[in-house]
Amino acid sequence: MNFYPVQLKDPSKITVEEIMNVVLVDDSLLVRERVANIISEIPGVKVIGEAGNSREAIAVVRKTNPDVVMLDIKMPGESGLQVLKKLRNEFEELKIVMLTNYSDSQYKAECLMHGADYFLSKSDEFEKLPELFSKLGKTQIGKLKKIN
């Protein structure tokens, strides 16, 4: 697979309306920290909430109303797939990125069938995050919310 440099916007020219708010959901604090660190380097993208299990995930998404949720497939409580179904029913415009160590095509197909927008392997695809958020930014034009 080829990767090409992503043209990211100059951070000094990003307006409040262009901030993409993200919630991270993973039972591993180390994974959440790693993803948050990568995201902190992407202009126009901000982590506004985190959760370590399914119950916290639903609560933090309802409270923060993010643009994007990065959701682990396997975690305590309900599975990420069950959370995906609930979020998709409640938040139609929400972009959902599934994170997993299970890169089996069956998991990917099932997640995409139930409304996931993207599917990333935790073991070898974190470097795709800048490109992914660039794509998400283009699909979110006019939909991003102001920071309160």
Task: Give pLDDT, residue 53.
Answer: 95
pLDDT at 139: 56
Work out how many domains the chain is built from and give that number: 1
Specify if 39 maps to a domain: yes
Residue 29 belongs to some domain of the structure: yes
Q: Cα separation of 87 and 95, whole Å?
A: 10
Between 35 and 108, residue with greater pLDDT: 35
Q: Looking at residue 17, what is its pLDDT?
A: 53
CATH of the domain at 58: 3.40.50.2300
Cα distance between residue 4 and residue 128, in whole Å: 10
Q: Is residue 100 part of a domain?
A: no
Q: Domain for residue 8, yes or no?
A: no
pTM for the model? 0.80
Q: Per-residue pLDDT averaged across 117-137, rounded? A: 85
Average pLDDT, the chain: 82
Answer whether residue 109 is part of any domain.
no
For residue 120, tell me if it sits in a domain.
no
pLDDT band for position 26 (50/70/90)?
Answer: very high
Has residue 26 been placed in a domain? yes
CA angle 49, 101, 70 (to 5 degrees): 20
Per-residue pLDDT at 114 exceeds 80: yes
Q: How far is CA 29 from CA 111, 147, 148, in A?
A: 23, 25, 26
- Is residue 104, in this structure, part of any structural domain at all? no
Q: Which domain holds residue 40?
A: 19-70
For every residue of the chain, which 3-state class applies, written as one string?
A: CCCCCCCCCCHHHCCHHHCEEEEEECCCHHHHHHHHHHHHCCCCEEEEEEECCHHHHHHHHHHHCCCEEEEECCCCCCCHHHHHHHHHHHCCCCEEEEEECCCCHHHHHHHHHCCCCEEEECCCCHHHHHHHHHHHHHHCCCCCCCCC
